[in-house]
Amino acid sequence: MKKIINDPTTVVTEALQGMALAHPDLITVTLDPATIVRADAPIQGKVALVSGGGSGHEPLHGGFVGAGMLDAAAPGAVFTSPTPDQVLAATQAVDGGAGVLHIVKNYTGDVLNFETAAELAAAEDIQISSVVVDDDVAVKDSTYTAGRRGVGGTVLLEKIAGASAARGDDLATVTAIAQRVNSQVRSMGMALTPCTVPHSGEPSFTLAEDEMEIGIGIHGEPGRHRVKLQSADEIVATLLGAVVEDLPFTSGDRTLLFVNGMGGTPLIELYLAYHSARSFLGERGIEVTRSLVGNFITSLEMQGMSITLLKLDDEFIELWDAPVHTPALRWGV
Amino acid sequence: MKKIINDPTTVVTEALQGMALAHPDLITVTLDPATIVRADAPIQGKVALVSGGGSGHEPLHGGFVGAGMLDAAAPGAVFTSPTPDQVLAATQAVDGGAGVLHIVKNYTGDVLNFETAAELAAAEDIQISSVVVDDDVAVKDSTYTAGRRGVGGTVLLEKIAGASAARGDDLATVTAIAQRVNSQVRSMGMALTPCTVPHSGEPSFTLAEDEMEIGIGIHGEPGRHRVKLQSADEIVATLLGAVVEDLPFTSGDRTLLFVNGMGGTPLIELYLAYHSARSFLGERGIEVTRSLVGNFITSLEMQGMSITLLKLDDEFIELWDAPVHTPALRWGV
């Protein structure tokens, strides 16, 4: 296992300490239980957004804590759901009296632990609503889920719902907007190489030198099928074909196109794939109105990418463009 | 070779086309010769900044074209210097009558081709000055250089000199500030894995499963020595030890600490290394006043990192904090 770490058991803790030192103006970090909280939380009268999940997908979610996006994140161990304890602590830290939205990626452990935390918070008279993100069209059920997995759409949802809360929307409105994003966003990913969880020390799966996995999950869990290496254009056509067909996206739609790296893929390949995706969508009359290209929801050092497409309307565009100031996304500030 | 590409010979072109489509508000791209130019160039009366170098180090340099940083970049083939032709075209495109600063990383081919371009531009009465960045303390001479290589310090120099030009400084002043950054910045890198240039199809070097290369160059060229895998704390102590000793940085100095990924290293490891670096510097009384953590000058999919330390003064801090709006760095806008 080749990693820049000290001890497999302290990777998350040390990385959190690094984040806290690098971004003292934006976030504060607690280690027991582990939370990343907006430095100026709680904000009285503002709906607060809390997300979380296993670590190893950075910058998701901790990198999105700050003005205009999340109020707190609960980072679990690598590829492991955060405990109810963590989610509750994050929720308590950010509640400003207007309620808290839990943004949960659809993995069985995450859903369960967020539900438990929501019950505990409700018992303290904190108003809780939640949205479960399930945008991955690759497989219906998976190793980690009943139903579709939550992947790249989560990033877009956190930005848009965060802007809704920032402009003063109430909990019902922010929740409805988050649910509407989830209903309008679809994703699919692929991998060229596996990744290695520090604690295990072994690659999560193996792929031959001429193979790739189509429809991979963000924990390296199996997707649709394993195939021989293909060209970027063929890969993009497979991913976007499934994405476009699913919603479906049709000619005349305005969209946000998000080409996401899995952590080990160079930016030059992501821009190349973005170019290919633009051709694919252009041929179908699907307009790309906003874009995001880079590593935002990753799987440690895995090489691969996912493509996410969100159908935009005027409100989504306004909320996407609104100011955001987090470690990993920043504009308008 | 596992890459998301169509054809090894068109990787740079297709990625440039993707960049142009993803950032139409910021940049325009020409393909023959290849340049990335600020969308609103030339800006009359403003000193223009042009950099360039081999592709494969993205987001450097094209990702730094925009308001407050570079006016243009000349991207060569992967790990290959841009031609004089490219640099000249970039220079012509951005000259607004106040002169053009060439920012050149110290590699023999880059220096030669920028010099030729400068002579051609001067013959057209464009006022040219140049700064050669040579911040890498790892080796005195290397496969690609006479003298030290230009690495992570380039990113910081482009930001600070870009802000100097944006506030209206004249060519002599912008050049002096760029040279002062180069005199106050030091870097060193390491790699856990090699990378593969698309055109060659083979890894640039080999490392055993228990080995890493200390002092690696950004093209995978050899560094100081190859050693057995070490802990993050040991790696950071080696890199920062060499960096701190070289300038030297001393107790009471204010610095910008830049932990840079080589392209294939997950963010969680970079933040972990940042934490370790803060401890190392804290023990020596060296203050970290500004920070940058992420993949900004890369070597394709190489796993590894470099650490750059810049000694700050009030002017550098003001220029670092000034607004910037490029594909890869953005704040204040």
pLDDT tens digits for A60-104? 999 999 999 999 999 999 999 999 999 999 999 999 999 999 999
Residues 180-199 (A) with a CB less than 8 A from some CB of B:
192-193
Interface residue A227 vs chain B (CB under 8 A)? no
- For the entire predicted model, the pTM comes to 0.98
Chain B residues close to A54, C-beta within 8 Å: none
Phi and psi for A94 in degrees, rounded to 5?
-110, -10
Among B residues 111-170, those touching chain A with beta carbons less than 8 Å apart: none
Which of B22, B209, B272 lies at the smallest CB-CB distance from A274?
Answer: B22
Which residues of B carry out catalysis?
A: 57, 219
Count of C-beta atoms within a 10 Å radius of residue A245: 11
DSSP B285-301: T-EEEEEEEE-SS--TT
The whole-number pLDDT of residue B20 equals 98
Separation between Cα atoms, residue A217 and residue A213, nearest integer Å: 10
CA dist A246 and A162 (Å) reads 26
Q: What is the pLDDT of residues B180-212, one digit of tens each?
A: 999 999 999 999 999 999 999 999 899 999 999
User: From the DSSP assignment, how many helices (H) and strands (E) are in chain A?
Assistant: 8, 14
Question: Chain A 17-46, CB below 8 Å of chain B: which residues?
Answer: 17-19, 21-23
CB contact B235 to A (< 8 Å): yes
Residues A22, B276: C-beta atoms closer than 8 Å: no
∠ CA A263-A269-A272, nearest 5°, is 140
Kindly list the residues from chain A whose CB atom is less than 8 angstroms away from the CB atom of residue B232. Answer: 4-6, 14
The mean pLDDT value of chain B amounts to: 97
How is the beta sheet containing B27-31 ordered, strand by strand?
B27-31, B34-38, B72-78, B48-55, B100-105, B128-133
Task: Determine contact: B208 vs chain A, CB below 8 A.
Answer: no
Work out the percent of chain B whose per-residue pLDDT is above 90: 96
Residue from A3, A4, A240 to probe the interface with B (highest B Cβ count within 10 Å) = A4
Tokens 């870097």 correspond to what residue?
B187
Q: Give start-end residues of each CATH 3.40.50.10440 domain in chain A.
A: 10-183
Which CATH architecture best describes the domain A185-322?
Answer: 2-Layer Sandwich (3.30)
Q: What is the pLDDT of residue B71?
A: 99
Which ipTM was obtained for this model?
0.98
Q: ∠A75-B296-A204 over CA atoms, to 5°?
A: 45
CATH superfamily entry for domain B10-183: Dihydroxyacetone kinase; domain 1 (3.40.50.10440)
Query: Per-residue pLDDT tens for B70-102?
Result: 999 999 999 999 999 999 999 999 999 999 999
Q: Quickly state the pLDDT bin for B240 (edges 50, 70, 90).
A: very high
CB contact under 8 A, B12 and A265: no
CB atoms within 10 A of CB B45: 10
Chain A contact for B15, CB < 8 A? yes
CA dist A138 → B5, B70, B188 (Å): 22, 41, 42
Instruction: Measure CA B62 to chain center.
Output: 10
Residue B285 burial (CB count, 10 A):
11
How are strands ordered across the β-sheet holding A72-78? A27-31, A34-38, A72-78, A48-55, A100-105, A128-133
The per-residue DSSP string of A7-48 comes to: -GGGHHHHHHHHHHHH-TTTEEEEETTEEEEETT---TTSPE
C-alpha A23 chain-centroid distance: 20
**Residues spanned by CATH 3.30.1180.20 within chain B?**
185-322
Q: From A152, A232, A276, select the one nearest B18 (Cα to Cα).
A: A276
- Whether residues A12 and B232 touch (CB distance < 8 A) is answered with no
Torsion over CA: B88, B89, B91, B96 (sign)? positive
* Number of cross-chain residue pairs from A and B with Cβ atoms under 8 Å apart: 185
Is B271 close to A16, i.e. CB distance below 8 A?
A: yes
* pLDDT for the residue numbered B292: 98
The length of chain B, given as a count of residues: 333
- Report the chain B residue with the minimal C-alpha distance to residue A326: B331
List the one residue out of A4, A237, A103 whose CA is nearest residue B237. Answer: A4
Query: Can you say how many angstroms the Cα of residue A77 is from the centroid of all Cα atoms in its chain?
Result: 16
Report the C-alpha dihedral over residues B324, A297, B295, B163, rounded to 10 degrees: 0
